Amino acid sequence: MKPVYFDSAATTKVRDEVIDAMTTVMRNDYGNASSTHSFGRSSKVLIEKARKTIAKRLNVSAGEIVFTSGGTEADNLALQCAVRDLGVTHIITSKVEHHAVLHTVQQLEKTYDVKVSYVKLDTDGLVNYADLEHLLQTDGKTLVSLMHVNNEIGNILDIKRVGNLCKTHNALFHSDAVQSVGHYEIDLQDIHVDYLAASAHKFHGPKGVGFAFIRKNSGLKPLIFGGEQERGIRAGTEATHDIVGLEKAYTMAYDNLEKESDQVLDLKKYFISELKNAFPDVTFNGLSGNLEKSTYTLINVCLPLPPEKALILLFQMDLKGIACSKGSACQSGSSKGSHVLTEVLCEDDLKKPSIRFSFSIYNTKNEIDYVISVLKEFVE
């Protein structure tokens, strides 16, 4: 069996068409977009075309899209600058956010003496909207930061509902949408979001490039200082080839969204069915086993195994050529367990092995069959 890749929530395979588009730019359009000569203007045209492509799909103006090095920078840009420039004194977030948000918020709490509140979660890790509304009824400038799709357990936030609550209470709303952009239609005229983060490598684009949506007239100043690139919001020479790669991946993701999401959802359904057949006591962490309330791109599985076997399961999977994850890739090298699972699992279940399998259009049911066979062999 050739190596099997079930870790697309960590990063996706780059589409061949994206590689071709990037290679063409690197070969032919190598001018600095800030230069006024023809080589520079050629690069500038490509960047602005990509900006308009992204903005049109999100139903916003091109000037509200700022290219970044990825989701982490986009999150930091919104969170740090909102506190520094807009006088935010209260941040409401959750304990199951990505560390790009959690660690930034913790640093802001230390540096600016910002009050941080963590919204209550239900037993599946879903935001308690009544508690969120309660937390919003406080004095001072408030910013809410809640992710659209959780990268570990796949829970989907009712982003429109949260946006409306924030609007009602005059709070700013930031959402890490790294796991949803390219996988779901998002209309930012319909949804009240002030800041949103996205990353190309989550939807078959290149690593090292993403974008921030920043609502116009936000008042934010740069996080990175230098030149006047990105309308003065983000200094640094733009990586034209990466931005074009992002645009190509973004366009293909949405042009093929219905067909490809159905294809991936079918894989998820099949995986869940086969796991239940093979392991009747299997459980799914968060809402990842719920086809209606979680993303179609991943499942997080808790296997009924003793702790001593839990320690070597992921190693065994790797030996068999299977790529998967015990949590987010950003922390997989850590000796600490998943902070998300710590919030949603009981103490006994935390001792059992939990694995995140995440899918893409490049996976097959034959690969799922192979994974099930390896798991059965390991358990037996």
Domain ranges of the chain: 4-12+257-379, 16-255
Count of residues making up the chain: 380
Is the predicted pLDDT of residue 100 greater than 90, yes or no?
A: yes
Distance (Å, whole) CA 360 – CA 261: 9
Binning pLDDT at 50, 70 and 90, where does residue 139 land? Answer: confident
* Distance from the first to the final alpha carbon of the chain: 21
- Cβ pair 339, 95 in contact under 8 A: yes
- Cβ pair 246, 211 in contact under 8 A: yes
pLDDT value, residue 351: 87
Alpha helices, DSSP H, located in 63-158 = 71-86, 99-112, 129-136
Tell me the mean pLDDT in the region 212-220.
94
Tell me the mean pLDDT in the region 97-115.
96
Distance (Å, whole) CA 195 – CA 308: 44
Q: For residue 363, what are its two tokens?
A: 């996976």
- Cβ pair 299, 357 in contact under 8 A: yes
pLDDT value, residue 326: 82
pLDDT value, residue 327: 57
Tell me the mean pLDDT in the region 176-205.
98
Binning pLDDT at 50, 70 and 90, where does residue 1 land? Answer: low
Give the CA count within 13 Å in the CB-facing half-sphere of 317. Answer: 27
If one compares 310 and 233, the residue with the highest pLDDT of the two is 233
**Burial class of residue 113 in the structure, from the number of CB atoms within 10 Å of its CB (0-12 exposed, 13-18 middle, 19+ buried):** exposed
Is the predicted pLDDT of residue 129 greater than 70, yes or no?
A: yes
Question: Using only C-alpha atoms, what is the Rg of the chain?
Answer: 21
DSSP 291: T
Is residue 330 among the annotated active site residues? yes
Q: Per-residue pLDDT tens for 354-367?
A: 999 999 999 999 99
Distance (Å, whole) CA 64 – CA 51: 9
The CATH architecture assigned to 4-12+257-379 reads Alpha-Beta Complex (3.90)
DSSP-based three-state secondary structure for 177: coil
DSSP 305-352: --HHHHHHHHHHHHHTTEE-BSS-GGGTTSSS--HHHHHHS-HHHHTS
Distance (Å, whole) CA 44 – CA 34: 7
Tell me the mean pLDDT in the region 164-192.
98
pLDDT value, residue 304: 87
- Cβ pair 251, 282 in contact under 8 A: no
Tell me the mean pLDDT in the region 334-355.
86
Is the predicted pLDDT of residue 328 greater than 80, yes or no?
A: no
- Cβ pair 81, 233 in contact under 8 A: no
Tell me the mean pLDDT in the region 292-312.
90
Strand partners, 118: 93
Question: What mean pLDDT value characterizes the chain?
Answer: 95
Tell me the mean pLDDT in the region 206-216.
97
Please identify which of the residues 81, 166, 302, 330 carries the catalytic annotation: 330
| Beta-sheet strand order (sheet of 172-176) | 65-68, 210-214, 195-199, 172-176, 142-145, 90-93, 115-118
Distance (Å, whole) CA 115 – CA 89: 6
CATH topology of domain 16-255: Aspartate Aminotransferase; domain 2 (3.40.640)
- Cβ pair 97, 179 in contact under 8 A: no
pTM over 0.85: yes
